[in-house]
Chain A
Amino acid sequence: MRAITYTRPATAQAAITAFAQAGEGARYIAGGTTLYDLMKLGIETPAHLVDVSAIEGLGSIDTGGDVLRFGGMATMADVARDRVVMERYPLLAEALGKAASQQLRNMATVGGNLLQRTRCLYFRNGASGLYPCNKREPGSGCAAIGGLDRGQALLGQSDACTAVSPGDWPVALVALDASVEVEGPDGTRTMPVADLYRMPGDTPHLEFTLRPGEIITAVMVPATAAGRRSTYHKVRDRESYAFALASAAVALEMDGETVREARIALGGVATVPWRARAAEALINGAPLTRERALATGHAAFADARPGRHNAFKIQLGAEVVADAVMIAAGRAS
């Protein structure tokens, strides 16, 4: 069988060193829910696995201060059932709780989840050599363009790639202007979650802005009163255990019946977690009505460029945003 070396260091520094020493083909592994899946599909073929699950302190959850801090190795299940998260940030709890299955959430980490790769069917079947895929093999082409594109992106796609960013958690984080703390060979840095993701452009094989050897050590969410009036609304092909056809993370600050500030991000429809700023602008300062909420939803898709089978997501996505706005507004501040 294909040999893989495996180490499980106890500190971040040791992990970074091990990663550097392993050289080409090194991968960090946390919960393993994505990496093992892609290894079985032959899409990821690491030679060296550096397991970050034993790193001291990476699993901590601190929701007491001005910034909520989730260690990169905290599991999705643990964060989803944190009392502060549940009570004051329902969009975070819902984004986590509506992802995958309980078994997967028990294993998957809130750091690793940010790096989940696309569910594009052509990408996932790519190791067979059947389907050209610029993400898997740069320059080979994109089978999804002109193909079965019901699940492909309407926002942010390029002529090289239309693969959807699959996550729920990153969408909620982008809505709350969250950031990640990253430790690597050159030290520690922080950056907005939104900056973690690259648009596909001509280089869809480059998905993240992490530098080689960097580890997401923490996810940080600025505490905000908007968290209480929030929701993560996810519509999919079945009630549970499915990726989003369209989803919306919405958090609102209200003055009576007027929206003072809305934060809206979209999932399931774009190549990266998609902050819908133009839509936010349309509803900020406006009295809240379903009509206005729906207009806001449509504004979020004003730049959408549908393919052959996914145009329905413009209407669907607008309704999802509108429903999310109304659900969020209905929650006590």
Chain B
Amino acid sequence: MSFIEVKQISKTFRVAKKKSGLKEAFKSFLKREYLDIKAVDDISFSIEKGEIVGYIGPNGAGKSTTIKILSGILNPDSGECKIAGMTPWKERVKYVKKIGVVFGQKSQLWWDIPAEDTFDLLRDIYEIPEEEYLSTKNDLIEKLNLKDIINIPVRQLSLGQRMRCEIAASLLHSPEILFLDEPTIGLDAVSKQLVRDFIKKLNKEKQTTIILTTHDMSDITTLAKRIILIGKGKVLYDGSLKKLKNMYETETYISIKTKDSLNIKKKGIISKKKNKEGYDLVINTKLISISELLTVLSHRISIEDIEILEEPIDKMIVRLYEDYQI
């Protein structure tokens, strides 16, 4: 049995249906219509200890709902889930001692007081022995570079500074599993990099199992070997990022600098555009390999410079969402 075992979990939310307009507003005052939305629909997967899993999908796909079910916050309508031998929503108080959560869009730090005071509160909540607490705290302060910001009231911190404190707050009790729900949302490049490096190190050093949701694909490429893609509440893909890339990343951009004019029609060349210095080509690497194309090209024109670009992963994800119609 795996460390995290999720079996056929479903959760439906009931939403009041309201049309716009005054007349409809009066109507709904007398009679409410409801709409059942399946946020999570029959989801199953398992995760081993020490894995980093990227949980991706478009907005409203059910990512956060899954995280909330797995962290014991929400009760699912049906399905089973065993994490470290416990059912999260049934043994909530015992279970949550083993996990840490970071919700990128929410804050767990007390607004009016320095982060360190919240840390002390968490020490008492999790009943962490003083010695252990101090060593974990100092370790986190060093790794997340918190020394100068930990004594400033949280309301005066920048988003990046606050997020680093949030992550530290979630790790004070050395959890075995860490749920990160959009931890890099709104952060600048430097802060993002710092957070990513830290997560990577944490996973390596402490074997912390990490489940990460994000819309930033570079989070996934730097952190997760495995991704679970969900859409409309269902699991659409579960496997390595590499395999998904092979399946999808078939478009390559080639820009050629040349003075000659190029007349080429070949299977696999999707588009050809002339620019000031040469041509931009988009090719399908499944139909024509780059070396093949280069051989053909070098016979016809003299190439001054060439640049090859892989399809950006974000674009691949867009195509992926389109293909799955989510």
Q: Do A and B bind each other?
A: no
* Interfacial residues, chain A to chain B (CB-CB below 8 A): none
